[in-house]
Amino acid sequence: MEDAYARSATEVLDLFGVDPAQGLSEDQVAQHARLYGKNVLPEERRAPFWKLVFKQFDDLLVKILIAAALVSFILALINGETGLTAFLEPSVILMILAANATVGVITETNAEKALEELRAYQADIATVLRNGCFSILPATELVPGDIVEVSVGCKVPADMRMIEMLSNQLRVDQAILTGESCSVEKELESTRATNVVYQDKTNILFSGTVVVAGRARAVVVGVGTNTAMGSIRDSMLQTEDEVTPLKKKLDEFGTFLAKVIAGICILVWLVNIGHFRDPAHGGFLRGAIHYFKIAVALAVAAIPEGLPAVVTTCLALGTKRMARLNAVVRSLPSVETLGCTTVICSDKTGTLTTNMMSVSKICVVHSVEHGPVISEFDVSGTTYAPEGIIFDSTGTQLDFPAQLPCLLHIAMCSALCNESILQYNPDKGNYEKIGESTEVALRVLAEKVGLPGFDSMPSALNMLSRHERASYCNHYWENQFKKISVLDFSRDRKMMSVLCSRKQKQIIFSKGAPESIISRSTNILCNDGGQTVPLTADIRAELESRFNSFAGKETLRCLALALKSVPTGQRTLSFDDEKDLTFIGLVGMLDPPREEVRNAMLSCMTAGIRVIVVTGDNKSTAESLCHKIGAFDHLVDFSGHSFTATEFEELPALQQTLALQRMALFTRVEPSHKRMLVEALQRQNEVVAMTGDGVNDAPALKKADIGIAMGSGTAVAKSAADMVLADDNFATIVAAVAEGRAIYNNTKQFIRYMISSNIGEVVCIFVAAVLGIPDTLAPVQLLWVNLVTDGLPATAIGFNKQDSDVMKAKPRKVNEAVVTGWLFFRYLVIGAYVGLATVAGFIWWFVYADSGPKLPYSELMNFDTCALRETTYPCSIFDDRHPSTVSMTVLVVVEMFNALNNLSENQSLLVISPRSNLWLVASIILTMLLHILILYVHPLSVLFSVTPLSWAEWRLVLYLSFPVILIDEVLKFFSRNSNGGVRFNFRFRRNDLLPKREVRDK
């Protein structure tokens, strides 16, 4: 029932045909169950496992690799090859792809947990009226029209319309749904407002929220997917995970690389078309197949098989570092996304604030001898932990607060006129509340004031266990005073009273709205000496002035406390007893901002990251909090920077665009508004991080480029998020952003390293094919180099140290290329040298090496006709493993030197030495040991078609390899000299050689 909030209770009951005194009959229950369905959030049909597996192979580079593996396998069968070496290459390729697919399937499976955990917020049981009798039934059996009774501690089992109040008031904590920091008072009257949000529907109890005060009956109006929780579920299902900027760039690079590879492979095949008929091949078809094998080897060389593994490993290393900073990453690519975040949409309650009401101000009358003198006290501590200090107006700490009469009686009243419970949870390691947040705040205040008459106070309290400390002082007062009668809070009186007895004296303690308490008070307790004096008009005016200041300027939630002595023997309380009270004091409380938030938000702004506070609270409360945080001091006022959801929706499209660019505060929002805000910002090409902790935040967390949940938040929010802040600390986001930027820089470095290495391999094979010399490297050797030799140093590059000014730079643009034009040219030069050096090593062995045949170069170019003519050397010389071993070793060593080049993008090795990254040095040593292992251990040398090298051959390898450092030093010099780069970019007319896509795919 969509508009139950706008209808009277009678209308709603008539619509469902239910008698509020009898409830539904069995026939009606069966009929309504058929009409409206069950009260469960149905499980979503998951994609079949085989579909998830096949989805992992839907990538162009992966398809090319699969094709290469199949071709290698087929060619091996055609040529009649047998044994391990024949099928090694396709087997290794398929193993790599299987490993990547496994990781992908696990990630996809975990993504469904958010929807499952949403069901945890559905109530298990409900007290239902049917056939004139109340019974406790499973909440899943509820149907629209059922009459349900709720009371303190109940989890609301479905969306329900209030029909009867069974106590003076009913208050519900709906923070998980709306983000409101305070519980909401419910009423019976219908709502006539237009454009209503959840907060305006004061006669509706929402599924999954918790009753914190009172008792009432309500009629079910929505079950299952037709509830507030159901709409959140639908929103989450409709939300597609955003592709991260790095993933987009890697996808673009992969597509670009695939096209280049295909072009080069076809080119190599066509260049050699004249050699198809060479007698050595045994016919045109066999010649075509031979050069097709070369093209396949070229594809294997060009595709960086290890890239996905290295990217994953580098991001995983980043997650470990971030975990030490209390940022637990659930989605690896989101580590990098943090680095280009431009806007953080921060939930207020529980993120910028503690989501724990806390007394921060106390106001009492000090004396009245020379006119009213008001004393104000500040209270530290922002959580439910009974740890805090009370300061006087000069900022001096009170060592024994309980020695002051007004503070002592405030502690008594706070402990006794209270229905809440404060306890320590050892499993979670924190203090928890049961009941109303404001009442728990008073219990915590009583603990901070301490007890009177003990010289060891308050240090003695610190010796207690946390479980005992939680309510030690409260229990002391409850043992000192015996509660006789309670007069519950009511909306018309706006106060609550308890009658207590102690040592043949009976006292009424009252608390409530300041205007109610002050109007019923005739006397006042003075803090100077503890005497009681009449409450004069001057004192009343001064108290009302302080109350208005607390509630208005400081937006504190204010309560006044009072007491009254009554004759011994009174056993009950009536409304008439709540007069001629003695006013004790005024307390102001708020959901306090976290202490570290101010510096964290200023750091975000220094890094060029805009912060938008998003909350379900009202505008004035939120604006006051933002002023307290201090991060918005640069705004003279919030005009044009603060909008309610309704105000924003009513703006014309152009003004909405302008408002988004200036917005700092977004209030009175519900889940759909949060998601709408994220989408609107993303349309402006912003990279959006959304923080939150409630169920209501889940759709927006999932939609955002990076969702950041609080560690103390709901399981739904954590599952929908990419990252969880274990310490709930907004400041952790700043450290995570810095880490994300550093990870991106390192990611770029190893991508460039792998590009230059693969370019070298392509050049090697292409040049050999063009020159007509034998294959310099076998496919299995290329795979070894790509996986092991490239992979280990590339991974170690991820340990490069973070730049000192990483948080002083503005966020990089989403469409910034991973490899720009100048850098692509640099690594093209490096790659060309790597390839040419590899071919040079191969040719050297045949033409110049003392251990080689010393053939004329022309003989090497005509190797394929050797069997058809008379030669002075045996044709088997072309099957010798020495030349390919020299080539492979040159390729490995030159890439090790190239890895050292990637310690920094532009800084010389003379400035940043290899000692700055010992992991890289270790990986180079390990790689060389592995390479030596396959050269000198017989079974491995046979497998990889290599052979041991002599010292002369090793010396040649070093001569050919070392110049790569000198070449890159020259290129780095030109990079540091901006003119060189500018001239190059001007010639190329654009500095991004990779294809551009729309910034955001829709």
963-976 and 821-847 are packed helices; what angle lies between their axes, rounded to 10 degrees?
A: 160
CA 162 to CA 2: how far, in whole Å? 15
Amino acid symbol at 924:
I
Q: Is the dihedral of CA 498, 500, 506, 510 positive or negative?
A: negative
Nearest to 296 by CA among 865, 783, 755: 783
Laid out side by side, the sheet with 184-186 consists of 184-186, 170-173, 210-213
Integer angstrom CA distances of residue 507 from 280, 339, 568: 113, 62, 9
DSSP at 589: E
If you ran DSSP here, which 8-state letter would residue 187 be given? -
Tracing tokens 């040419």 back to the chain, one arrives at 836
Distance CA 2, CA 953 (A): 83
What are the start-end ranges of the H helices in 549-618?
597-606
Active site residues: 347
Secondary structure (3-state) at 151: strand
CB 53 within 8 A of CB 108: no
Cα 775 to chain centroid distance, Å, stands at: 50
Helix (H) / strand (E) containing 97: helix 84-110
Angle, vertex CA 402, rays to CA 397 and CA 408, nearest 5: 125
| Closest to 745 measured CA to CA, from 312, 246, 304 | 246
Before 458, cis peptide (omega within 30)? yes
- What are the structure tokens assigned to 70, written together? 């199949």
Can you say whether the dihedral through the CA atoms of 424, 428, 434, 440 is positive or negative?
Answer: positive
Rounded to 10 degrees, the C-alpha dihedral 815/816/822/828 comes to -70
Q: Compute the distance between CA of residue 894 and CA of residue 897 in angstroms, rounded to an integer.
A: 5
- DSSP assignment letter at 902: T
Residue pointed to by tokens 């880490």: 739
For 573, half-sphere exposure in the C-beta direction (CA atoms, 13 angstrom radius) is 23
* Contact assessment for residue 431 and residue 423, using Cβ atoms and an 8 Å cutoff: yes
User: CA-CA distance, 842 to 829, in Å (whole number)?
Assistant: 20
- CA 836 from chain centre, in angstroms, equals 46
Tokens describing residue 258: 């695939």
**What is the Cα–Cα distance from 266 to 262, expressed in whole angstroms?**
6
Residues counted in the chain: 1002
Q: Across the strands, what pairs with 367?
A: 373
Report the distance separating Cα 943 and Cα 122, nearest Å: 61
Beta bridge partners of 590: 358
832/819 Cα distance (integer angstroms): 17
